Structure 1
């Protein structure tokens, strides 16, 4: 029996940017659905409140004046959320590929989970200084959703990258 050890030192390899973008778009959809479900079912909150918070990143704090359904707010929130999901997915792919974290499903999932954790910390303890209205969303549900986002991006990237080869 032969044992294969994969080196995780940096190597000049470029990610498949299209695959990374598709993975980020899909994982952004999963994250948005989880946040809407968890905020409504677990927290008992208004399902549109999160949309207003995300839209306020782009539109400014005026989007926070109400939490009622507003098609423009929801559309801006979706666009903002998906763009951020794609950007973060591109960053994750730029980490996964050159360090060969895509050598196995387990390694890529571990990388995605750690990335999701770091993304949560970045968003809710770093960026909250600029977007203070997100401070109230800190907690295990949002943390879990971000870890799931990282897992979904990593797994999709790994699977789609395998298909592309």
Structure 2
């Protein structure tokens, strides 16, 4: 019989932190996989998506793609993803409080799509180079991020909200 009880009646900070870390790491790993596989199919540098995101945290002079990307751009990209994942996880926790586990996962997928739409159709036009990263591959990564965010948040919140 399915469990229809709420995952967390209030924001569960521990679950949000776990979800931010796990979903954020999965997002980065899927992005790296995409950067390695994409050049096989398109004429683009394998590190250009990371480089374009790093340009947000660096000056606009960082946007022309160098022959060697450098550790600074990769570090800045990872820091931006980690920070965004943390903020998004707590926002997600606020949205899904009091929902069932299945609904939390479903809302996670919708949340991932919403993050993509806001990011690429509201924010990206103001940032150099990010408009070029739109596509089904990036949508799938965002949907996966949302699903993992919902699953991890729901799982940890259910376990930590149960009385001993």
TM-score calculated relative to the size of structure 1: 0.84
Residue pairs, 1:13-162, within 5 angstroms: 13-44=9-40, 45-67=44-66, 68-97=68-97, 100-101=98-99, 103-104=100-101, 106-162=102-158
RMSD: 2.3
What is the CA-CA distance between 1:6 and the residue it aligns to? 7.0
Instruction: Give the direction of change, closer, same or farther, for the CA distance of 1:121–1:22 in structure 2 (3 Å limit).
Output: same
What is the CA-CA distance between 1:108 and the residue it aligns to? 1.2
TM-score calculated relative to the size of structure 2: 0.84
User: Conserved in 1, the CA contact under 8 Å of 2:60 and 2:128?
Assistant: no
Give the match for residue 10 of structure 1.
none
Q: Distance in 2 between matches of 1:5 and 1:156?
A: 17
What is the CA-CA distance between 1:66 and the residue it aligns to? 2.4
CA deviations over 1:14-52 (Å, ceiling 9, x no partner): 311232122112211111111221232135343321221
145-154 vs 123-132, greater mean Cα deviation? 123-132
For structure 2, list consecutive stretches of 5 or more residues without a partner in the other structure. Answer: none
Q: Distance in 1 between matches of 2:133 and 2:76?
A: 19
Q: Distance in 2 between matches of 1:4 and 1:153?
A: 20
Q: How many residues align?
A: 156
For structure 1, list consecutive stretches of 5 or more residues without a partner in the other structure. Answer: 8-12
User: Conserved in 2, the CA contact under 8 Å of 1:54 and 1:81?
Assistant: no
CA deviations over 1:83-128 (Å, ceiling 9, x no partner): 011111111111001xx22x12x21111001111111000010101
152-161 vs 18-27, greater mean Cα deviation? 18-27
Structure of greater relative contact order (alpha carbons < 8 Å, 6+ residues apart):
2
